[in-house]
């Protein structure tokens, strides 16, 4: 017995706050609200035509008829995502928290973040690219810009110029950009002796600058290129977003093992196969843990190129892709200039996003027990059509020094 036996333990009335990503998709996309695809059907058809050609006119001579035709571009609404969690009657009775409400909100936010990540991943289909070459900084086409207060205005100006060069005249420009971008832009604007510079310096708000509406997001696409031209040595590793992949001469059973193939192209292909199917163990790769496999299935993909000896990893919704390697041969490296954060600039209404069935929670009671299934699902699709691409710009930032 002690006086401390009289001291109560207190449980707060509310659970801790979950911090969700800021979502920008509905602010920048064409939601096709006037289309019948919002009501029924599974495929959107958008025909297109070739530009007209002009011929010289000679007096008294017939003009040659121009052949007119059309093509058809389609979008199939087939992206289906969902979540399920269960709450028993007695768990809810004894809990002081509304479990359905709290965990249901998390489900809805996770699904909305996935849609948002897919929209921002359309950056790879943008019609123009801002890289080191575009801003006059040299390097190789496709290399990421090391963003500084000295060049951030050049980056923004280049994005707008590239759209104008494709005859895009709209001034309703947006920038879906990272906290890193906003940080540099804030410093650049605050340093300028202007009224807006003074305002930014005081409260950190930018909003619209240089005719661009800025939306800050942690949901951008990130990419990284692994140069793998020499066969790795057994037990060499590469790490992608905290997940270790180990090259082995005998496949074994350790999650993330990748078999060293007959040649380096085969080895690289084996790594790509495991990244793209992370829940499946094969003769050339051992499945990741359940949690990592689900994360990689949802957000990560890889493309192997035997011509360039490069494996490109794409991570939707990550903004920063942290990679590392423990490779014996010095030629095998993650290419620093190709560790990229893909910020999306464009004209509002581009790309397209159709949400046919909005996220909602459905309750289903188990037949032989007092347990309720809470199911959240959504049916949607996003696409960059031919006429969307010129109105979008892929602004590539060098991100090897960024932290996740």
pLDDT tens-place string over residues 111-161: 999 999 999 999 999 999 999 999 999 999 999 999 999 999 999 999 999
Would you state the pLDDT for residue 1?
A: 78
DSSP state, 276? H
Which residue's entry shows tokens 């890889």?
Answer: 302
Q: Is the dihedral of CA 235, 236, 239, 245 positive or negative?
A: negative
Measured distance between the N- and C-terminal CA atoms of the chain, rounded to whole angstroms: 50
The pLDDT tens digits of the residues spanning 67-81 come to 999 999 999 999 999
State both tokens at 367: 């037949």
CB contact at 8 A, 292 and 277: no
Whether 33 has a pLDDT exceeding 50, the answer reads yes
Q: Please state, as a whole number, how many other Cβ atoms lie within 10 Å of the Cβ of residue 200.
A: 22
- Residue 201's pLDDT is 47
Q: What is the pLDDT of residue 196?
A: 59
- Whole-number CA gyration radius for the chain: 26
- Nearest alpha-carbon partner for 123 in 322, 382, 320, 308: 382
pTM here? Answer: 0.93
Predicted pLDDT of residue 205: 46
147, burial (CB in 10 Å: exposed 0-12, middle 13-18, buried 19+): buried
Q: What percent of the chain has pLDDT over 70?
A: 97
Task: Specify the long-range contacts of residues 356-359, CB closer than 8 Å, at least 24 apart.
Answer: 356/37, 356/38, 356/77, 356/380, 359/107, 359/108, 359/111, 359/112
Helix axes of 179-190 and 152-164: crossing angle, nearest 10 degrees? 110
As given in the structure block, the two tokens for residue 179 are 């906290």
Interatomic CA distance for residues 327 and 234, integer angstroms: 10
Determine the pLDDT at residue 194. 62
Task: Tell whether the model's pLDDT for residue 192 goes beyond 90.
Answer: no
Please report the pLDDT score of residue 202 as a whole number.
Answer: 47
The helix (run of H) or strand (run of E) holding residue 117 is: helix 99-120
**Nearest-angstrom CA–CA distance, 86 and 101:** 12
391 three-state secondary structure: helix
What b/e readout covers 348-382, taking b as 16+ CB neighbours within 10 angstroms?
A: eebbbbbbbeebebeeeeeeeeeebebbbbbbbbb
Whether the pLDDT of residue 242 is over 80: the answer is yes
> Which residues 6+ apart lie within 8 Å of 403 measured at CB?
320, 322
Q: How far apart are CA 177 and CA 214, in angstroms?
A: 7
Give the mean model confidence (pLDDT) for residues 362-381: 94
Q: Rounded to an integer, what is the distance from CA 101 to the centroid of its chain?
A: 28
Average pLDDT over residues 12-21: 93
pLDDT tens per residue, range 58-110: 999 999 999 999 999 999 999 999 999 999 999 999 999 999 999 999 999 99
pLDDT band at residue 195 using 50, 70 and 90 as cut-offs: low
What are the start and end residues of each CATH 3.30.70 domain in the chain? 221-337
Q: Which CATH fold topology does 19-47+77-220+338-404 show?
A: phage-related protein like fold (3.90.1690)
pLDDT, tens digit, 9 for 90 and up, residues 263-314: 999 999 999 999 999 999 999 999 999 999 999 999 999 999 999 999 999 9
> Is the domain covering 221-337 a CATH 3.30.70 domain?
yes
pLDDT in tens, 257-277: 999 999 999 999 999 999 999
Range(s) of the chain covered by CATH 3.90.1690: 19-47+77-220+338-404
Over residues 214-219, the mean pLDDT reads 94
Length of the chain: 404
State the chain's mean pLDDT as an integer.
Answer: 94
pLDDT computed for residue 193 by the predictor:
58
């Amino acid at each position: 017995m002690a006086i401390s036996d009289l001291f109560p333990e207190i449980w707060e009335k509310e659970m801790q706050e979950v911090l969700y990503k800021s979502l920008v998709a509905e602010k920048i996309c064409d939601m096709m609200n006037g289309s019948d695809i919002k009501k029924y059907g599974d495929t959107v058809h958008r025909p297109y035509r070739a530009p007209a050609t002009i011929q010289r006119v000679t007096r008294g001579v017939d003009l040659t008829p121009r052949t007119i035709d059309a093509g058809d571009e389609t979008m199939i609404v087939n992206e289906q995502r969902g979540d399920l969690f269960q709450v028993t009657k007695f768990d809810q009775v004894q809990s002081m928290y509304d479990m359905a409400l709290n965990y249901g909100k998390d489900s809805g936010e996770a699904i909305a973040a996935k849609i948002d990540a897919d929209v921002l991943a359309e950056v790879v289909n943008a019609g123009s690219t801002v890289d080191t070459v575009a801003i006059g900084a040299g390097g190789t086409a496709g290399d990421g810009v090391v963003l500084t207060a000295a060049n951030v205005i050049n980056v923004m100006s280049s994005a707008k110029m590239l759209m104008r060069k494709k005859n895009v005249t709209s001034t309703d420009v947006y920038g879906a950009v990272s906290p890193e971008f906003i940080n540099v832009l804030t410093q650049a604007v605050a340093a300028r002796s202007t009224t807006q510079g003074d305002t930014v310096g005081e409260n950190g708000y930018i909003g619209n600058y240089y005719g661009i509406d800025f939306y800050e997001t942690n949901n951008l696409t990130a990419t990284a290129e692994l140069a793998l031209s020499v066969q790795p040595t057994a037990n060499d590793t590469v790490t992608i977003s905290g997940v270790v992949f180990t090259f082995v001469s005998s496949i074994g059973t350790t999650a993330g093992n990748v078999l060293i193939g007959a040649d380096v192209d085969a080895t690289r292909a084996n790594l790509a196969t495991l990244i793209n199917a992370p829940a499946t163990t094969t003769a050339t790769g051992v499945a990741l843990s359940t949690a990592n496999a689900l994360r990689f299935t949802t957000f990560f993909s890889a493309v192997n190129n035997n011509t360039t000896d490069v494996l490109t990893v794409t991570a939707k919704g990550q903004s920063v892709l942290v990679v590392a390697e423990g490779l014996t041969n010095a030629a095998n490296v993650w290419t620093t200039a190709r560790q990229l954060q893909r910020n999306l600039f464009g004209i509002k209404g581009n790309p397209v996003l159709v949400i046919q069935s909005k996220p909602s929670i459905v309750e289903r009671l188990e037949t032989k027990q007092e347990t309720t299934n809470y199911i959240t699902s959504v049916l949607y699709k996003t696409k960059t059509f031919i006429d969307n691409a010129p109105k979008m710009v892929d602004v590539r930032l060098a991100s090897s020094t960024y932290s996740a």
